[in-house]
């Protein structure tokens, strides 16, 4: 890996100011969808609120990709959006039981499947450069520790519970990344965390119960909002080892791992 001088992340870029009617309407539509969902609690099997949730999710993705909102704003909004949805109704809407029926939990790595959102909601672009995905683990299974380049993601616990450890990405070195811990907590059903270049970029989850699952939403291949010194793999991931001693300044230096090394240490 090429060497790079340590650096601090730049300030969050200013949101681009646009006055075009199309952009104003799109941003307004996203806000209206979020407001409508937050006020609607009459779920009772009615698909309309869940379709509102799905449309709001798509609108947030579009707002982020177009530059109408930044990555930190996306994190705040997607956490509020997904946290407003009753988990049982969301699981029914996405038919999670049928989707995960084939999970075998053969290893300590996660099984995964993608729910299908209605074509009329996702639009002509479909799921290009973003995803909605269910990850399932047995007790002791792990989302092995990693950082991301050029993407955001959010993780809603829809079954079981997890120990979650997250870190801010402080700077990249030639063969390691300097991290600062932001969370070491138990996540239960209904809890949500998110990540971006700017906040909680490193995440590591360990399942505390059998059939522990997260519903993940991610947007990939975004313009960088941080100066990367390390190259990610084809999935925008860099595996790291955050299980290291803490320095006096509160940071840790986490070596870069291959996938095989990360699996051997954290999911063997």
Q: Evaluate whether residue 57 is within a structural domain.
A: yes
Q: Evaluate whether residue 163 is within a structural domain.
A: yes
Q: What is the pLDDT of residue 47?
A: 61
Q: What is the pLDDT of residue 8?
A: 31
Q: What is the pLDDT of residue 46?
A: 55
**Count of domains observed in the chain:** 1
Q: What is the pLDDT of residue 48?
A: 82
Residue 201 makes CB contacts below 8 A (sequence gap 6+) with: 147, 148, 167, 168, 169, 195, 226
Low-confidence ranges of the chain (pLDDT < 70): 1-47
Residue 127: which of 62, 64, 173 has the closest Cα? Answer: 62
Q: What is the pLDDT of residue 100?
A: 98
Domain that holds residue 175: 21-266
Q: What is the pLDDT of residue 49?
A: 86
Q: Evaluate whether residue 114 is within a structural domain.
A: yes
Helix/strand/coil percent split, the chain, to 5: 30, 30, 40
Q: What is the pLDDT of residue 54?
A: 96
Q: What are the CA-CA distances from residue 212 to residues 97, 100, 110 (Å)?
A: 13, 11, 10
Q: Evaluate whether residue 87 is within a structural domain.
A: yes
Contact criterion met (CB below 8 Å) for 130 and 221:
no
C-alpha angle with apex 50: 207 to 72, nearest 5 degrees? 60
Q: Evaluate whether residue 4 is within a structural domain.
A: no
260: phi then psi, degrees, rounded to nearest 5: -60, -40
pTM of the entire predicted model: 0.84
Q: Evaluate whether residue 231 is within a structural domain.
A: yes
CATH number at residue 212: 2.60.120.10
Q: Evaluate whether residue 6 is within a structural domain.
A: no
Q: Evaluate whether residue 55 is within a structural domain.
A: yes
Cα(231)–Cα(126) distance, integer angstroms? 27
């Amino acid at each position: 890996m090429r060497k790079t001088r340590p650096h601090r992340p730049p300030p969050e870029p200013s949101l681009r100011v646009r006055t075009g009617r199309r952009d104003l309407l799109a941003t307004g539509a996203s806000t209206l969808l979020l407001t409508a969902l937050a006020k609607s609690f009459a779920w009772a099997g009615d698909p309309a609120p869940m379709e509102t949730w799905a449309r709001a999710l798509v609108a947030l993705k579009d707002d982020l990709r177009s530059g109408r909102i930044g990555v930190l704003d996306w994190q705040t909004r997607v956490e509020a959006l997904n946290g407003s949805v009753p988990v049982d109704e969301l699981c029914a809407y996405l038919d999670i039981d049928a989707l995960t029926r084939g999970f075998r939990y053969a290893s300590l790595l996660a099984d995964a499947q993608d729910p299908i959102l209605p074509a009329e909601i996702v639009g002509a672009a479909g799921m290009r450069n973003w995803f909605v995905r269910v990850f399932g683990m047995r007790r002791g299974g792990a989302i092995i520790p990693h950082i991301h380049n050029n993407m955001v993601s959010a993780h809603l616990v829809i079954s079981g519970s997890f120990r979650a450890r997250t870190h801010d990405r402080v700077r990249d070195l030639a063969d390691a990344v300097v991290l600062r811990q932001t969370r070491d907590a138990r996540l239960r059903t209904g809890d949500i965390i998110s990540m971006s270049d700017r906040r909680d970029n490193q995440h590591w989850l360990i399942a505390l119960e059998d059939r522990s699952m997260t519903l993940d939403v991610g947007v990939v291949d975004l313009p960088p909002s941080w100066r990367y010194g390390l190259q990610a793999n084809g999935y925008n991931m860099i595996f790291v080892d955050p299980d290291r001693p803490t320095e006096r300044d509160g940071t840790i230096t986490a070596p870069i791992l291959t996938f095989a090394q990360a699996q051997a240490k954290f999911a063997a």
